[in-house]
Structure 1
Amino acid sequence: MATVRVGIGCFVIKRVNGKAYFLLGKRQGSHGSGCWGLPGGHLDMGEEWSTCAARETFEECGIQTDSIAYREATNDVFGPDLHYITLFHSCEVSKEYQGRPVRRMEPNKCLQWIWVSWQEFMSNRALLRDACTDNCFEAIDTPEVVNLEALFLPLQNLKKKLQFSSDPPSWLN
């Protein structure tokens, strides 16, 4: 018998020159392969939501986070036997991890991490900023544009809920 599972998605926020960016990863190796999604995963039995968000972010990106807060939920039906409730959170990269690059801790599940702004996310196009290097926000001569149209279903559903405003949510300002 199929059951509904609980997933966590985390907007990991880094502020550069007063502008907020968050991590997106290119999924591979499981449902949603080839789509862009947030760091996250499954809520463990008895686990607090914020604890799960911090754990999954560290397991996937190798960074510690602060100021974790619940933001939104989506109802995500992938098919007749795959149904999730996704709890979205936001968090800030902790001060001691500010200068450290993001790592692909699970390379079989994530092809790459990139930093994107809210405006880029809403427009489905982002400048390629390699989240795995320290200088990812420095200007480059010929920036590559990344197509963000292929989003993981929970992120698609969240975007639909929030699409009425191209302004970022208050917690992303």
Structure 2
Amino acid sequence: MEQAVRVGVGVIIMYKDKILLGERIGAHGANTWATPGGHLEYGETIETCAKREVLEETGLNVVTVEKLGFTNDFFAQEQKHYVTLFVKATCDDHHAQVKEPDKCKHWRWFALDALPQPLFLPLTHFLAQHKL
């Protein structure tokens, strides 16, 4: 198996001082809480990826995208290596729906001082390095 570094895009959506997080299902990051996001596709801009992933996962339409920072994440158990590009997005609605029930149990809004545990590794690293 060829080992490669993948690029992910994590989309931070805030509403009334709360962040949107979903509980992940599946082998990669199962049972952790994460922002909407996914793999950057070949030839795709970061902004386009953020809009596509948010719509696919939550049904929300992204209006604005602002680049925030990145993390370098090695998932030892899964033997996966990601660089995750984090962006902050605003949406025209705040009623997230589970559009990919095989990947996410539910979407919830959390205060930054009351985040659920465990968080997805890239989000843990991002929050350790950046203030929202």
TM over 0.5: yes
Q: Where does residue 75 of structure 1 map in the other structure?
A: 72
Unaligned 5+ runs, structure 2? none
Corresponding letter in the other structure for 1:28: I
C-alpha distance in structure 1 between counterparts of 2:9 and 2:22, whole Å? 14
Residue 99 of structure 2 corresponds to residue 105 of structure 1 = yes
Q: Which residue of 2 aligns with 1:93?
A: 91
Is the 1:13–1:93 contact (alpha carbons within 8 Å) kept by the matching residues of 2? Answer: no
Q: In the alignment, what sits opposite 1:62?
A: 59
Partner of 2:125: 157
With normalisation by structure 2, the TM-score equals 0.91
Tell me how far apart the structure 2 counterparts of residues 110 and 81 of structure 1 sit (CA, whole Å). 22
SS of 2:54's partner is: helix
Structure-2 separation of matches of 1:39 and 1:63: 10
Shift of 1:119: 2.3
Helix, strand or coil at the partner of 1:119 = coil
Deviations along 1:101-136, one digit per CA (max 9) or x if unpaired, are 211000010001100122223xxxxxxxxxxxxxxx
Unaligned runs of 5+ in 1: 122-147, 163-167
Contact 1:30 1:109 in 2 (8 A): no
Which whole-Å CA distance do the structure 2 matches of 1:119 and 1:149 have between them? 12
SS in 2 for 1:120: coil
Corresponding residue pairs, total = 130
Contact 1:10 1:90 in 2 (8 A): yes
Give TM-score, length-normalised by structure 1.
0.71
Deviations 1:120-172 (A, max 9, x none): 23xxxxxxxxxxxxxxxxxxxxxxxxxx120111011112213xxxxx53xxx
- Contact 1:76 / 1:85 at 8 angstroms: preserved in 2? yes
Select the structure of larger CA radius of gyration.
1
Identity %: 38
| Partner Cα distance (1:58, 1:70) in 2 | 18
| Counterpart residue type for residue 41 of structure 1 | G
Q: Matched residues in 1 for 2:26 and 2:65: separation?
A: 28
Is the partner of 2:65 in helix, strand or coil?
strand
Amino acid across the alignment from 1:156: T
Q: Distance in 1 between matches of 2:13 and 2:79?
A: 30
Q: CA deviation at 1:61?
A: 0.0
